[in-house]
Amino acid sequence: MKKDKYCIGEVEKMCSIAKKTLRFYDKIGLLSPFEINDNGYRYYNKENLYTIPVIKYYKQSGFTLENIKKVMNEYDYQFIEESFSEKIKDLEELENELLMKKRSLEDWNSLVKEAKMVIDYKLDDIKVKYLEPDKLVFHEQTFEGDYISSVINIEFTNYLEEIKNAITGPVIIEFSSLEDKIKGKTQKIKMLQKNLIKCDSELLSDFGGGLVIACYHIGSHKNILDTYKRMCEWAKLHNYKYEDKCYERYVMDYWTTKDVEKFVTEIFIKIKG
């Protein structure tokens, strides 16, 4: 014979829900037993039981218990539709936020792997490579030789937040003059970074799309000019003409480690023609 009421222990087993949770649902008015006898024993009927999977579904979809209570007790279709639409919008925003965090961590992780490979195999040979064309978020600044304030760049970070974008790796600096760079002079630069979030074209600067002389500099930025001089000598030896513009791509830096000997910086010097 089919039962018409179930004690709280039976409901716990049948619906995989803790007695403590059932008591709490009763306390907030979300799901109350149809009968509580003189001894305080709680009994649930079939209607109560069928409500439990519905509550679980709403919880799975991200609704709060208070929202579930409102939706389940509201029989206006417009209200229900608006509640669902609002929750979908919330979840889309959360999805975008999680996707952005995932992409940022993937970028950072790939830089760590790249730096490890460069250090392990001492990949500091000079070579010619082609940089794929790209468009990067940029911010014009002045470089005075202070690397830490340029790489962990508060002004650039604030700018990215202002344009509703986010930090990711690698940071790239475009130096306007290779000659001034080697002489240690103050000069205009562009901070460059790929955009995690789509933005207007006027906020982007062209990068790549040509041949460059490339070399990894391993170690502190204090002696990075030695690598520049080595690259210029290599270019002269191999009859390469280059532009008075260069780039530094920070693979491993202050963002990841305080050990300057493990810093890895990739330098690009644009080849003419």
CATH of the domain at 54: 1.10.1660.10
- Cβ burial of 206 (10 Å; 0-12, 13-18, 19+) is exposed
Strand runs (DSSP E) across 194-273, as ranges? 204-207, 210-218, 242-252, 264-271
Structural domain includes residue 97: no
Give percent above pLDDT 90 in the chain: 89
Q: Domain for residue 92, yes or no?
A: no
How far is 75 from 81, CA to CA, in rounded Å? 11
Lowest mean pLDDT among 51-65, 67-81, 112-126, 188-202: 67-81
In a domain, 146, yes or no: yes
Model confidence at 77, in pLDDT bands (50, 70, 90)?
confident
Question: Does 223 share its domain with 166?
Answer: yes
- The residue segments making up the domain with residue 56 are 6-86
Instruction: Give domain status of residue 134, yes or no.
Output: yes
- Does residue 1 sit within a domain? no
57 and 113 in a common domain:
no
The mean pLDDT value for 154-168 works out to: 94
> What is residue 2's predicted lDDT score, i.e. its pLDDT?
65
Per the structure, the count of domains in the chain is 2
At 200, is the pLDDT very low, low, confident or very high (cuts 50, 70, 90)? very high
Please indicate, yes or no, whether residues 125 and 202 belong to a single structural domain of this protein.
Answer: yes
Asked whether residue 96 carries a pLDDT value surpassing 70, the answer given is: yes
Give domain status of residue 22, yes or no: yes
Q: What is the pTM of this model?
A: 0.81
Mark whether 110 and 77 lie in a shared domain. no
What's the CA gap between 273 and 266, in Å, rounded? 22
Mean predicted confidence (pLDDT) in 20-37 = 96
Residues 6+ apart with CB under 8 A from 9: 19
Residues 184 and 222 in one domain: yes
Are 50 and 158 part of one and the same domain?
no
Identify the CATH number of the domain in which residue 238 sits.
3.20.80.10
Please indicate, yes or no, if residue 186 is contained in any of the structural domains. yes
Same domain assignment for residues 138 and 164:
yes
